[in-house]
């Protein structure tokens, strides 16, 4: 399964660089998104290094999910694809 990084998770005055919002093409509702909580997410850097994260919950009602990575991702990660296992 594949998804696309949408944005960092944050509020009006904060931004968490290790927590991102991921949109998955196959998932269209919050109920479907909650079924894949705790799955592993892998983002590959341009140099080939893999950064691993975990789905922590649904985000909104249209099937987006929150992913918490082991370390912060750079801004270049926005809009790129991730692999979900």
pLDDT in tens, the chain (85 residues): 999 999 999 889 999 999 999 999 999 999 999 999 999 999 999 999 999 999 999 999 999 999 999 999 999 999 999 999 9
Domain limits for position 44: 2-84
Q: Assign 19 to helix, strand or coil.
A: strand
Is the pTM of the predicted complex or chain greater than 0.85? yes
Number of domains in the chain: 1
In degrees, rounded to 5, the angle at the alpha carbon of residue 66 between the alpha carbons of residues 60 and 71 is: 155
Which of 29, 23, 4, 2 is CA-nearest to residue 84?
2
Q: What is the CATH number of the domain that holds 66?
A: 2.40.10.190
Q: Rounded CA gap, 2 and 84, in Å?
A: 6
Find residue 54's DSSP bridge partners. 40, 68
């Amino acid at each position: 399964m594949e998804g696309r990084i949408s944005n960092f998770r944050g509020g009006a005055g904060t931004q968490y660089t290790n927590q991102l919002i991921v949109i998955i093409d196959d998932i269209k509702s919050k109920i479907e998104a909650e079924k894949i909580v705790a799955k592993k997410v892998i983002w590959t850097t341009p140099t080939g290094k893999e950064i691993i994260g975990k789905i922590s919950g649904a985000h909104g009602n249209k099937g987006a999910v929150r992913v918490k990575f082991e370390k912060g991702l750079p801004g270049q990660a926005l809009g790129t694809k991730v692999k979900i296992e």
